Structure 1
Amino acid sequence: MDLWPLLLFVALCVLQSSSKPMEKKDRVHHDAPLSDKTHDDEDNFEYDHDAFLGQEEAKTFDQLTPEESKERLGMIVEKIDTDHDGFVSSDEMKQWIKHAQRRWIYGDVDRQWHAHDLNTDSYVTWEEYKNATYGSILYEADPEDGFNYRQMMSRDERRFKMADVDGDARANKEEFTAFLHPEEFDHMKDIVVLETMEDIDKNGDGFIDLNEYIGDMYSQDGESSEPEWVKTEREQFTEFRDKNKDGRMDKDETRDWILPSDYDHAEAEAKHLLYESDTDKDGRLTKEEIVDKYDLFVGSQATDFGEALVRHDEF
């Protein structure tokens, strides 16, 4: 059986932590940084390109001339202006940035949808998902690394039921998206927190202590001293994560850690783009203002704008 759907799902969504890599792992899914580039406009606009287009789309920038970039950017501006008043507001820009960042999610859902809607009735039932994802591997021995397929299936079923908002035992496209990417949906946040705690809470006491917190991110493996970032994480745990200072994180403290709500990266970037492009300082952008600053938004490189323009159902 092809295990790719399972492996992809595990890698992207389940927050599995049976292995402990040497580098820091990031469990924060809500409003993660829009790019791994440094945001320094004096050096280049690569961060802004990633934020405006999404990192995967921005990677394809390599062939367009400035004229072609401006023409296609103008077409994108018309899609951003959702109320068709001839201006792009800060909120419209924020929504576009969020859309660009989630484009990879839509692609992942589409791929998995076709793999799991076995009878093509526009729904995915739990049985369809279970059979397509696990199938005969449930009767095989678990891998030596301790991975438990039946335990994973049980967690998937619990998550599937939470995503099934109308309780009809089958998932439409929206519910299936919530199942695969729960961190993107408010009503799924509890399951993200629960699964994270289950992964890290090795002693099963319902809390995450300092050793479990660090152990999930880092394994010393014979090193004589910890990296500086590990020492910083210890301080973060003591000073900020453990709010009630009882030496461990409870459910609410874990939620604040992995699902922070105090900073909206998309909103901050939208305000930045508007500030840098709003020539007449009226608090909104015209197509001309955006195109005039095309290097800030897209640069003079190639992108798959054509594909974005035909996706009428995405935005």
Structure 2
Amino acid sequence: MNESLCIRMMRPLLMCFVLCIVYGSSKPTDKKNRVHNEPLSNLEHDDNKNYDYDHEAFLGEDEAKTFDHLPPEESKRRLGIIVDKINTNKDSFISEEELKVWIKNAQKKHIYDSVEHQWKDFDMNNDGLISWDEYKNVTYGSYLDDPQSDTDYNYTHMMLRDERRFRVADRNGDLIADKLEFTAFLHPEDHEHMKDIVVQETMEDIDKNGDGFIDLKEYIGDMYTAEDDEEEPEWVTTERQQFKEFRDKNNDGKMDKEETLDWILPSDYDHAEAEAKHLLHESDTNKDGKLTKEEILNKYEVFVGSQVTDFGEALLRHDEF
């Protein structure tokens, strides 16, 4: 498998970062979105014990290990520089709104960097555009050359799904994507006109019996597969209740397209706002609804695993400090 195809296979995991924000129990922002088969981290997620899960989920395992070896005082110094940037009104306090704006900008930068990185791989003729043929040839070139060489993956099915999504992202229908259209292709969850395709792909992945709905068994099966004689974890029981009380809104025992959309891309849920609330909950020592620089630095280990530091990468870029 060539390098570009490996990138293609990792794209659903990047999407998972935008669709999934996982919090510890009893937090004010406790919400569980779709859990993909590939976890963000294999570590236990329990903020009461440590933030190792958050570090790996947002930094990646290698970068989390790098940060683990940074001296605390150096970490605090670098975080202090970031705090000054967040405090846009210079009132010496970080509000929930300032945190939310910073996190949203960090998300946008993450998406921008992702698109820029992949753009160079696919714009083969350097004309500032990416055609479907360019994307197809780079991503599936080795398979197209020898379709029988690897049967581990159904590349034909993957290619058809990609083409379908590409056509939806391609607003003018010329099968040539500019930067905005290619961004919608790679990150469909952030674009209104791409929501239907996100729902369609999700349902195709989970709807094992092909009836056009997601029932409780399929919903749980997407998140959890029981081992022999294994006791069902408490969170699975909670998810069963979530399905019955919140996911299946019309109580017919299954989720249709509208209910699935409400699940994976809820219109009443702002990820950046939820993360800002989470950070305040963890760090606001005097419970006045805002953070001082001192409060943030005292809880620096929380912010390392947060989107507030651009998935922690800002702490690792020496040239900015």
Q: TM-score, normalised by structure 1?
A: 0.70
Q: Indicate the percent of aligned positions where both proteins have the same amino acid.
A: 58
1:307 aligns with 2:296: no
Distance 2:318 2:101 in 1: 15
1:288–1:242 Cα change, 3 Å? closer
**Matched residue type, 1:184:** D
1:12 aligns with 2:11: yes
Identify the residue that residue 79 of structure 1 maps to in structure 2: 85
Q: SS at the partner of 1:9?
A: helix
Paired residues for 1:109-258 under 5 Å: 109-138=115-144, 139-141=146-148, 143-144=150-151, 147-165=153-171, 167=173, 169-217=175-223, 227-229=231-233, 234=240, 236-258=242-264
Q: Residues 216 and 253 of structure 2 are in contact (CA less than 8 Å); yes or no, is this contact kept in structure 1?
A: yes
Paired residues for 1:97-116 under 5 Å: 97-100=103-106, 105-116=111-122
1:167–1:310 Cα change, 3 Å? farther
Q: SS at the partner of 1:134?
A: helix
1:127–1:256 Cα change, 3 Å? same
Q: Deviations over 1:200-246 (max 9, x none)?
A: 334433222344445545567xx655751466655554444332232
How far residue 114 of structure 1 moved from its aligned partner, in angstroms, is 1.7
How far residue 159 of structure 1 moved from its aligned partner, in angstroms, is 1.0
1:265–1:308 Cα change, 3 Å? farther
1:244–1:85 Cα change, 3 Å? same
1:70–1:143 Cα change, 3 Å? closer
**Matched residue type, 1:152:** M
Between 150-159 and 99-108, report the one with greater CA deviation.
Answer: 99-108
Q: How many residues align?
A: 291
Structure with the larger RCO, 1 or 2 (CA within 8 Å, 6+ apart): 1
How far residue 193 of structure 1 moved from its aligned partner, in angstroms, is 0.6
1:309–1:115 Cα change, 3 Å? same
Q: Residues 92 and 293 of structure 2 are in contact (CA less than 8 Å); yes or no, is this contact kept in structure 1?
A: yes
How far residue 70 of structure 1 moved from its aligned partner, in angstroms, is 3.2
Q: Indicate which of 70, 80, 87 corresponds to 2:76.
A: 70
Q: Deviations over 1:148-176 (max 9, x none)?
A: 32332222122112223455543333432
Q: Supply the RMSD in Å over aligned alpha carbons.
A: 4.2
Q: Residues 31 and 266 of structure 1 are in contact (CA less than 8 Å); yes or no, is this contact kept in structure 2?
A: no
How far residue 198 of structure 1 moved from its aligned partner, in angstroms, is 1.9
**Matched residue type, 2:262:** D
1:114–1:246 Cα change, 3 Å? same
Distance 1:133 1:242 in 2: 38
1:201–1:63 Cα change, 3 Å? closer
Q: Which sections of structure 1, spanning at least 5 residues, go unmatched?
A: 16-25
Between 123-132 and 134-143, report the one with greater CA deviation.
Answer: 134-143
1:38–1:118 Cα change, 3 Å? same
